[in-house]
Amino acid sequence: MSTPNRASGNDPSAKWPLLLGGLSFALGAVWALVVPPFGAPDEPAHAQAVAQVRDRLELPTLRIRFDEDPTGVIVWPPPDRAMVEAARRFGQTDPLRLAPYESFQPPLYYMLGALVSLPVRSDPVATLYVLRLLSVVFGAATVVACYFAARFLAPSEPVWAIAAAGALALVPQASFNAATAGNDSLVNFLCALGLASLLKSLRDPNDDPWLVRAGAIAGAALLAKQNGLALVPAIGLTALFRCLDAPKADRFRLFARMTIGATSAFMLVGGWTFGRNLFFYGEPTGVADAAKYFRARFIPISIASGSAWGAVIATAWQSFWGRFGWMDKRLPEWAYQGTLVIVVVMLGMTVARGAALVGRISKPAWRSMVLMVTVCLATAALFVWVNFVSHGFQAQGRYFLPVAVPIMMGLTGGPAWSGKGKRARWTFLYAAGAWLVLLQAMGLSAARR
Q: Is the pLDDT score of 440 beyond 60?
A: yes
Q: Which of helix, strand or coil describes residue 392?
A: coil
pTM: predicted TM-score of the whole model, two decimal places: 0.93
pLDDT over 80 (residue 176): yes
The predicted model gives 294-318 an average pLDDT of 86
Q: What is the pLDDT of residue 391?
A: 72
Query: Is 420 in a helix, a strand, or coil?
Result: coil
Q: Residue 347, exposed/middle/buried by CB under 10 A (0-12, 13-18, 19+)? A: middle
pLDDT in tens, 352-385: 887 776 666 777 778 888 888 888 888 888 878 7
Nearest CA to 139 out of 23, 4, 55 is that of 23
Cα of 251 vs its chain's centroid, Å: 34
**Of all residues in the chain, what percent are helix, strand and coil, respectively (each to 5)?**
70, 0, 25
pLDDT digits (tens, 9 = 90+) for 98-151: 999 999 999 999 999 999 999 999 999 999 999 999 999 999 999 999 999 999
Q: What is the 3-state secondary structure (H, E, C) of 156-224?
A: CCHHHHHHHHHHHHHCHHHHHHCCCCCCHHHHHHHHHHHHHHHHHHHHCCCCCCCCHHHHHHHHHHHHH
Q: How many whole angstroms separate alpha carbon 12 and alpha carbon 27?
A: 24
pLDDT for res 3: 38
pLDDT of residue 9: 45
- Band (pLDDT 50/70/90 cuts) for residue 13 is low
What is the Rg, in whole angstroms, of the alpha carbon atoms belonging to the chain?
A: 22
What average pLDDT does range 306-311 have in this prediction? Answer: 86
pLDDT in tens, 189-225: 999 999 999 999 998 989 999 999 999 999 999 999 9
pLDDT at residue number 420: 58
Predicted pLDDT at 1: 35
* 307: confidence class by pLDDT, cuts 50, 70, 90: confident
Q: How far apart are CA 124 and CA 128, in angstroms?
A: 6
Rounded CA separation 120/141 (Å): 24
* Confidence grade of residue 11 (pLDDT, cut at 50, 70, 90): low
pLDDT value at position 335?
Answer: 97
Q: Which of these, 276, 225, 278, lies nearest to 105 by C-alpha position?
A: 225
> How confident is the model over 232-258, as a mean pLDDT?
92
Contact residues for 126 (Cβ-Cβ < 8 A; gap 6+): 117, 120
User: What backbone torsions phi and psi does residue 75 show, to the nearest 5 degrees?
Assistant: -110, -15
Residue partners of 18: CB distance under 8 A and separation at least 6: none
Question: How much of the chain exceeds pLDDT 70, in percent?
Answer: 94
Give pLDDT, residue 6: 42
HEC secondary structure over 323-358: EECCCCEECCHHHHHHHHHHHHHHHHHHHHHHHHCC
Yes or no: say if 375 and 233 are a contact pair by the CB < 8 Å rule. yes
